[in-house]
Amino acid sequence: MTEESEAGFEALTLLLQLEAEARNAGSVKALQFLIVNETRRLLPYRQAILFAAGATPRRRMRAEAVSSIAVLDRDTPMLQWVERALHALRREATDTGPQRFDSVQAPESIRGDWREFSLPYVLWTPLRTPRGMIVGGLWLAREEPWMDTELALVQRLAETYAHAWLAVTGQRHWRARAWSHSAAVRWGLVLAMLCTLLVPVRMSTLAPAEIVAKEPTVISAPVDGVIADLDVQPNQTVREGDRLLRFEDTNFRNAYEVAERTLSVTLAEFRKATQGAFHDEKTKAEVALLKAKVELASAERNYAREVLGRLKVKAPRSGLVLYSDKADWIGKPVQTGQRILEIADPQQVQLRVTLPVKDAIAVTPDAEVKVFLDVDPLHPLNARVAHASYRAEVQPDEVLAYRIDAELDNPHKSPVRIGWQGTAKIFGPRVPLFYYLFRRPIAAARQFFGV
C-alpha cells in the first residue's frame, strides 16, 4: 500500500470515528466541545469557532464555542470582530457550501483588523441539514491555505454535525427553525392583516346617557325672594292647581300695607282738595297733581298686591314633579326667572346623551342609538337621534361635550323611568377598520405635530 493510500485510509478512518462520536454525543455542550476540538484530528487548524444560527435568516450568527477555551466570553474584541467579519463575508459570498477566505481578498471594512484577530486563511463551513436549513457554522483558521481535498472532508463532516445538532437539541428546535424560514407563511399573515384593516365597519362611540322628560314645564321663581317651603316631594304626582311652593312674605306683606296706607293718605288729600277747589283757586290748581299721586299710589298698591299673590306657586298642569332635594331649596334666596323645578308627563320621555368632544364622531339626524341602562343592561333599548347640538358646552363635571337628544323606539313597550342612566352607543357611517382602531391616535398625533 502506498503512502498516499495509507493517508487516505487514515483520513477515512478518522472521519468515521468523528461521525460516530458526534452521533453519540449526549448533550449540546459535549457536541460543541467535540466539534471545535476533535475536528483537529482530521483537519489541521490553529483555531476553531462554532456558531449557532439566529432565530431568523436575517439575524447574525452567534458564537457558541471556541477551541481550547472552556468558558466562552462573547465580550472579547476577538469574538466581536469574528462575528462582524463573518457577517460581512457571508453577505458577499455567492456559494452556500464551504467557503475559503483570506486577509488579502477580505472586504475593506474588516481587512484592517484581520491580522490582529485572526490567522491569514479561514475556512467557513455552514452546518446544513438534509432539508437545506442552516443550524450553525464552523470557522476554521490557520497559517496555510486550504486544499480542495480538505473542503470535501469538511463538507461531509459538517452534514454529520448538523444532523447530530438537531438530535441533541430536539424536535422543537427543528420546528422553530422551520417556522423562521417559512417566509411565505409570514408574508401571507402580513397580507391577511393588511386586508383585514381595509374591511368596512360601522363607526361607533360610547357616551353617558339619561332618560329625561320630553317638553317639561319649567317652574321658575316669579319674584326675587327666599323660599319658605315646598309643598311637594321630588317625584311626586300633582294635579293642576295644587300648590307647589311658597316664598317668605314678610317683606312683601309690609310693602303691600305701606302701599295701601300711602294710597289712603293720598286719596284723602285728593278728596279734601276737590272739596276746597270751589272756594280757593290755589287749591283748585293742586287737584290735578293730587290726582296723579293717587293714581301712582294705586298702581304701587296693585303691584304690591300682585307680587304678594305670586308668593304661592301653583301647578299649571298635572304631572310628575322633578327637582333635586327639598333641603336644597328651603331658605335659599332666588332671583326672578331662576329654575326651581319641572313638571313632566312620565309617559313622555326621551334619551339625553352627553358626548365628550374627545369621543365625538359625525352624528347625523336619525342615526341609530343603542342604550344600555344600568338597571337592565341585558336588554338594550333602540333610539334615533332627533337633535344634536352644534356647539360643545361645559358640563357640571367640567367636561366639554355635545348634547344629543334621541327618540326611543316603542317607549311604551319597555317602560322606562325618568332619571334612569346608562351608556349609549351611537352609530355613524361605515369606515375602514384601520380608521376605526387608530382614529384617536391619529387625532392625537395631528394635534401634537400640528399637521
Looking at the structure, do residues 324 and 422 belong to the same domain, yes or no? no
Q: What pLDDT is stored for residue 174 in this prediction? A: 42
- Closest to 97 in 3D by CA, of 174, 162, 32: 162
The neighbour count for residue 135, using CB atoms within 10 Å, is 20
With a cut of 90, say whether residue 123 has pLDDT above it: yes
Q: What pLDDT is stored for residue 94 in this prediction? A: 59
Looking at the structure, do residues 26 and 133 belong to the same domain, yes or no? yes
Q: What pLDDT is stored for residue 419 in this prediction? A: 87
Looking at the structure, do residues 325 and 177 belong to the same domain, yes or no? no
If pLDDT is split at 50, 70 and 90, which confidence band does 172 have?
Answer: very low
- Dump pLDDT digits (tens) for 387-445: 888 888 888 878 899 999 999 987 666 678 888 999 999 998 888 888 888 877 877 78
Could you write out the three-class secondary structure of 118-152? CCCEEEEEEEECCCCCEEEEEEEEECCCCCHHHHH
Q: And the C-alpha cell for 434?
A: 384601520
Q: What stretches of 399-432 show up as alpha helix (H) in DSSP? A: none
Q: Name the 3-class secondary structure at 289.
A: helix
Looking at the structure, do residues 234 and 337 belong to the same domain, yes or no? yes
Q: How many residues does the chain have?
A: 451
Give the list of residues 6+ apart from residue 420 with CB closer than 8 angstroms, or none: 210, 211, 373, 374, 375
Q: How many domains is the chain built from?
A: 4
Looking at the structure, do residues 150 and 299 belong to the same domain, yes or no? no
With a cut of 50, say whether residue 306 has pLDDT above it: yes
**Strand-pair partners of 79:** none
Q: What is the CATH number of the domain that holds 279?
A: 1.10.287
Q: What is the CATH number of the domain that holds 173?
A: 3.30.450.40
Residue 51 lies in a domain: yes
Contact 360, 402 (CB under 8 A): yes
Residue 36 lies in a domain: yes
Q: And the C-alpha cell for 279?
A: 272756594
Looking at the structure, do residues 303 and 415 belong to the same domain, yes or no? no
Q: What is the CATH number of the domain that holds 423?
A: 2.40.30.170
- Dump pLDDT digits (tens) for 203-245: 888 999 999 988 888 989 888 889 988 888 888 889 988 898 9
Looking at the structure, do residues 290 and 376 belong to the same domain, yes or no? no
Looking at the structure, do residues 357 and 328 belong to the same domain, yes or no? no
> What average pLDDT score do residues 333-353 get?
89
Residue 88 lies in a domain: yes
| Distances, alpha carbon 412 to alpha carbons 190, 213, 408, 416, 421, in Å | 51, 14, 9, 8, 18
With a cut of 50, say whether residue 312 has pLDDT above it: yes
Looking at the structure, do residues 334 and 374 belong to the same domain, yes or no? no
Distance CA 387, CA 204 (A): 17
Residue 77 lies in a domain: yes
**DSSP secondary structure letter of residue 35:** I
Distance CA 50, CA 34 (A): 10
Residue 199 lies in a domain: no
If pLDDT is split at 50, 70 and 90, which confidence band does 7 have?
Answer: low
Residue 238 lies in a domain: yes
Per-position DSSP letters for 324-376, written without gaps between them: S-GGGTTT-EE-TT-EEEEEE-TT-EEEEEEEEGGG-----TT-EEEEEETTE
User: To the nearest 5 percent, what fractions of the chain are helix, strand and coil?
Assistant: 40, 30, 30
- Dump pLDDT digits (tens) for 50-109: 998 875 555 578 899 999 888 888 888 888 889 888 888 877 665 678 989 998 888 888
Residue 200 lies in a domain: no
Which of 261, 289, 310 is the last residue in one of the domains?
310
Looking at the structure, do residues 16 and 100 belong to the same domain, yes or no? yes
11 or 363: which carries more pLDDT confidence?
363
Looking at the structure, do residues 405 and 332 belong to the same domain, yes or no? no
Q: What pLDDT is stored for residue 326 in this prediction? A: 85
Residue 191 lies in a domain: no
Looking at the structure, do residues 32 and 157 belong to the same domain, yes or no? yes
Q: What is the CATH number of the domain that holds 328?
A: 2.40.50.100
Residue 17: domain span:
3-181
- The CA-to-CA distance between both ends of the chain, in Å, stands at 86
If pLDDT is split at 50, 70 and 90, which confidence band does 121 have?
Answer: very high
